[in-house]
């Protein structure tokens, strides 16, 4: 490659990389790797406090102290009720506590506040999709996973494929053909 060309990725190279990073997709199904928007928000004192409260909440949740986590997330929401992130985080803690309805309400709020865009919306759609899947609401689950997938969620992309019986069948057939090629049978 000549100087300067090494940063250019051709459509073919992109397709190959897509196959490597998305091996569960049926052959020929290319994913648009839209960058998850880097949300920029003005770092006000209130936002700094809320972010710190959210960090404390995440740490409490990871250590198993769900009540402290919920308290931290609720304080963050009271401090900056316009930020979607606090609702998304509190939804995770509510789900761990077993409050599915409360988690859904917070996820709906996170999606509304984020206008369904960006990484927080991606996480909220993914979480809500998981709740719907656990509740047996497959159509709603698939819709949420599709939204999250379009926002760049890799786990959501895998779920969309896994929930598509036609794609799963094509994947199985492709795997069998590739195994035969490797074994020299074709």
The pLDDT of residue 176 is 75
Across the chain, mean pLDDT equals 79
Tens-digit pLDDT profile for residues 24-37: 443 333 333 333 33
Within a 13 Å sphere around the CA of 118, how many CA atoms are in the beta-carbon half?
A: 15
Tens-digit pLDDT profile for residues 123-170: 999 999 999 999 999 999 999 999 999 999 888 888 888 887 665 566
Indicate whether this model's pTM tops 0.75. no
Nearest C-alpha neighbor of 153 from the set 131, 124, 122: 122
CB–CB of 54/73 below 8 Å? yes
Domains located in the chain, CATH noted: 44-182 (1.25.40.10)
């Amino acid at each position: 490659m000549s100087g300067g060309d090494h940063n250019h990725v051709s459509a073919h190279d992109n397709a190959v990389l897509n196959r490597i990073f998305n091996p569960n997709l049926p052959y020929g199904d290319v994913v648009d790797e839209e960058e998850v928007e880097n949300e920029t928000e003005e770092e006000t004192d209130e936002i700094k406090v809320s972010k710190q409260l959210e960090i404390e909440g995440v740490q409490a949740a990871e250590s198993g102290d769900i009540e402290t986590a919920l308290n931290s997330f609720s304080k963050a929401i009271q401090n900056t009720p316009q930020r979607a992130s606090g609702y998304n985080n509190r939804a995770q803690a509510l789900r761990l506590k077993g409050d599915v309805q409360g988690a859904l309400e917070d996820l709906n709020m996170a999606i509304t506040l984020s206008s369904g865009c960006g990484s927080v919306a991606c996480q909220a759609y993914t979480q809500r999709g998981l709740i719907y899947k656990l509740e047996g609401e497959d159509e709603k689950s698939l819709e949420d996973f599709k939204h999250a997938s379009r926002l760049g969620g890799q786990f959501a992309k895998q779920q969309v494929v896994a929930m598509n019986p036609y794609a799963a069948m094509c994947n199985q057939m492709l795997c069998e053909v590739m195994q035969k090629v490797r074994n020299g049978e074709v």
